[in-house]
Amino acid sequence: MTDKKVWLITGAGRGLGLDITKAVLAAGHAVVATGRNQEKVAQAIGEADDLLVLTLDITKPAEAEAAVKAAVERFGRLDVLVNNAANFYAGFFEELSSEQVNQQLATGLIGPMNVTRAVLPVLRRQRSGQIITISSMAGLVGFEFGSAYAAAKFGLEGWMRSLLVEVAPFGIAAITVNPGFFRTELLTEESTNFAEHHLADYDERRTGQEAFYKGYNGQQSGDPTKLAQALLTISDAAKPPRRFLAGADMLGAAEQVLVDLQADIDAYRELSGSLAYNEPVASIGN
């Protein structure tokens, strides 16, 4: 790759996507900034050289293909895809409707797959490129009131870890980013949706959970502008990481995952190791 790269960023009109877009442009790269509302994305970013703003609903494969085609027609190549667009369906699993779960998975898991599928032929032809997918702390840690969101993020994790092996022979890097709590717009009313159904057994806990998420918006410890700069740093690395854990809270959570996993291994090590198939011993005839 040359020093100047072409980045395609989803969800570029607000939140972390907007911060990434501004950081990439300031670093002298070209950006294909996408979002469901092209006009709003353009207004949020403002005018800039080497900027192409496109409409892209990541749940629609045809729009992903059209965006990639337009990007290549404008810039001749693509170097970095940032799968950033996201939403959050918060609620206890039993209270979330099947439609809400489907919508969470459509945006959080299938959407990034749609865009990546459209981008990969370009990167393969070039024999170079990066796919940076924004996961979450929820991709490593399941948490109360976030079962659907965690399901989408855990799915991203498995997909990306498999994808990185599949595309590495073509010179393509697949990087998973796990942010902790950053002061983005994920917890705003525009991005967070609560469960539609209420069951009495969950009333007390639901009240506390909803109060936490509504009150925590704007109080998160992480700075998204610093995260955007960090993404530039790892993208420029001679050997980009397979995973980047973003934020002190994320580091603590990941370390606890390791502790818990080791405890699970040790607790049933003997039983787990005793499950090999015993081949029957052949009898010896007279």
Residues designated as active site? 149
Three-point CA angle 190, 69, 236, nearest 5°: 75
Three-class DSSP labels, 136-182: CHHHCCCCCCEHHHHHHHHHHHHHHHHHHHHHHHHCEEEEEEEECCE
Residues belonging to the chain: 286
CB of 126 closer than 8 Å to CB of 173: no
CA torsion angle 126 113 60 231 (round to 10): -70
DSSP state of 282: P
Measure the N-to-C terminal CA separation of the chain; round to a whole number of Å.
72
DSSP state of 109: I
Q: CB count, 10 Å around CB of 221? A: 11
Pairing of the two strands 6-9 and 80-83:
parallel
The rounded distance, in Å, linking the Cα atoms of 16 and 80 is 16
